[in-house]
Chains A and B, each alone.
Chain A
Amino acid sequence: AQKVTQAQTEISVVEKEDVTLDCVYETRDTTYYLFWYKQPPSGELVFLIRRNSFDEQNEISGRYSWNFQKSTSSFNFTITASQVVDSAVYFCALSEKGNFNKFYFGSGTKLNVKP
């Protein structure tokens, strides 16, 4: 079974629209870590945020915000007032305390922001 599911394969929005990228995870570990990465067309994966399972506080960083909901095993990512530069593939990832060197990546969501 998929440990990390990103059901949205591709999303297209017009600049300045808000967009939410969904991430649902599955784990039996009580301690785990969640991450979001951005992969622009150049190919490099850029680390965006980390969330520990024991810290359910949501976070906002500029136009980016993350909503961690343990009850629904979700870690969604919202971009407010999207810009063309936000166009990229976004990956959600999970690692577990029991084997923290193993990262489980979702299949990615391609975000197209049109001017």
Chain B
Amino acid sequence: GAVVSQHPSRVICKSGTSVKIECRSLDFQATTMFWYRQFPKKSLMLMATSNEGSKATYEQGVEKDKFLINHASLTLSTLTVTSAHPEDSSFYICSAREGGQENSPLHFGNGTRLTVT
């Protein structure tokens, strides 16, 4: 089955620093990837849709200058949390769909647990 790899799985950083999270599709090409955020004991919240070769599409209320997304190739999307603050601490998960069918399921990475001190 489709595999999505996410790195790092866990990161602790100090307030004011930036953190980059990588998401790779390992055995398929993904022109579109999705970045979600999950708060403890909560559902997944779509942050943005990452598009290869063009700008990401952000959901309402998500600061695009805060959460920089770059989709440089058909297998790699990165999310950079800039000038991180403790309220950015969360579980970030990327996903991608294998194939272009509209009913293709999302395949998720292992997630990145970000802690900002």
**What is the interface of chain A, defined by CB distance below 8 A to chain B?**
33, 35, 37, 42-47, 50, 52, 91, 93, 95, 97, 100-103, 105-108, 110
Contact = CB atoms under 8 A, between A and B. Distances in A.
Contacts of A100: 102-103
A101 B49 CA distance: 9
B46 interface: yes
Q: How many B residues touch the partner, as a band?
A: 20 to 34
27 contacts: A33-B102, A33-B103, A35-B106, A37-B108, A42-B110, A43-B93, A43-B111, A43-B113, A44-B110, A45-B44, A45-B93, A45-B95, A46-B108, A47-B1, A47-B105, A47-B106, A47-B108, A91-B44, A95-B103, A100-B103, A101-B32, A101-B97, A103-B46, A106-B43, A107-B42, A108-B43, A110-B41
Interface of B: 1, 32, 34, 41-44, 46, 49, 91, 93, 95, 97, 102-103, 105-111, 113
